[in-house]
Structure 1
Amino acid sequence: MLKACFHNRGPWALFAALLVPCAALHAGIADDLGALAPGGSLALTSNFIYRGVSESDGHGAVQGDVHLASRGGTFLGIWASTRDPDIEPEASAVLDLYLGHRFALSSTWSATLSGRTHSYLGASRYEPSDDYQQIIASLTYLDGWSISITAIPNAVHWWFYTRLGRDPAWVADTSGQYLLGRGVFLTAGAGYYRTQGTGSGMERATGYAYGNAGLAWEHGPWRLDVGYFLTQEAAQRLYPYPVDPHKVAGTLSWQF
């Protein structure tokens, strides 16, 4: 149903659809859910960059998140973003459903375990599905620094523009922010994506590194991020669309 709704309708259909659950949450749905607290965000970005690679081929995207969280640390939600339908798998949007739990280890440290399913909306019906699932374990210090390990049991394995099938993949990444003052933060992150292989040559295991650095400014529910993104050229072997190793992107988001 969701794939049919977003097929060939572009970013504004997704933006409008995200506003519906946002309005419902603020209309009093929280009263019916007891201990579950609603929240979320809406964002406009100049470039949808995911693990160092642009899903929007250098163009802008509309993004949104709606979630529910319990006082005990359990959370569930939905996240979505528009993307360039001219690149594989010809989907106009991506949709993530996620469920997890946050464990308070101390007054400064916490750990989170979550699962996500990543779906391409409006993808070509004549090609195999590129949807996949992932399990994420992360450790966070004071909401200012985090490190995570992600396991993807069924990642699609590409060799440039040739689809080889599916293989397990792993991702290790870290990110942090440091308050400079007056709502201004210094931000940075780095990661490494590696897919397992089943042989030699183009079927061998391979991976790439990526990172970013920038500044962010927060004022009330608003946040503006501007950053420089660097991606190892080896990423081109794992994605069936152009990979730009040097990118600058900005994102304006509203939290509710």
Structure 2
Amino acid sequence: MQRGKGMKFVGDSRIKANNRMPNKPKDYSEYPGKTEAFWPDFLLKEWMVGAVFLIGYLLLTVAHPSPLQAPADPTDASYIALPDWYFLFMYQLLKYSYFSGAYNVLGSVIVPGLAFGALLLMPFLDTSKERRPSKRPIATSLMLLSVASMVYLTWESVDATDWSKVNTQGQITDKHLGLLPAVEVDTESDGYLIYEANASCIGCHGGDLTGASGPMLLGNTLTAEEVKEVITNGRGGMPGGMFEGTEEELNTLAEFIASLKEE
């Protein structure tokens, strides 16, 4: 008897079949409004678009790296704390009367929480299968309102900020922009040591002499006698008699400040 002759094979559900169906997307041409499978067709396109933007951001960061920030200066009394640009709209919101002070929780927690919560709940609030924005009024209106609010508040924050006083770490400074006078300061000189030892001097004009609550001393056009006169009798918002030291130290300090002229 030959092998297999006269034998019959029957199917058994306990035995796995070897002929698997190929992983082929379903044909959606017969379904109105659906032209392709989510996996892998649509999702692959999404990944490709995301990869293009990611490469673009990487090239941008390589071509324009973040500038080095200024060191922290505890003597800078004119410090203006500003968040990063993408949080300026919330910073501006907290300037309004009903979102600050006693209403600070409303402006910092409740209103942003409701706004972002509405965006998170949007898939459940708008269950329409339409893709055209005109056919989805709820989603379109909320998105346009959010974008318009963020753009307006960011613009108001930038417009209301005195950028000439933003001279601390993490912010745009004259030093970063190369707008400071080209003056070399000898921090080992007697004049600078006297300046540094007087809290009233360094507290108003900053440790780097670029100004804090007082004006910048770099690039001044005063003579030593004029500087001495200002220190002794005051000028503008600067009161006189603030210097604590001998007459000789005053002369040394005046000559040091007068020497800070732009080269």
TM-score normalized by structure 1? 0.19
Higher strand share: 1
- Rg larger in structure: 2
Return the TM-score normalized by structure 2: 0.19
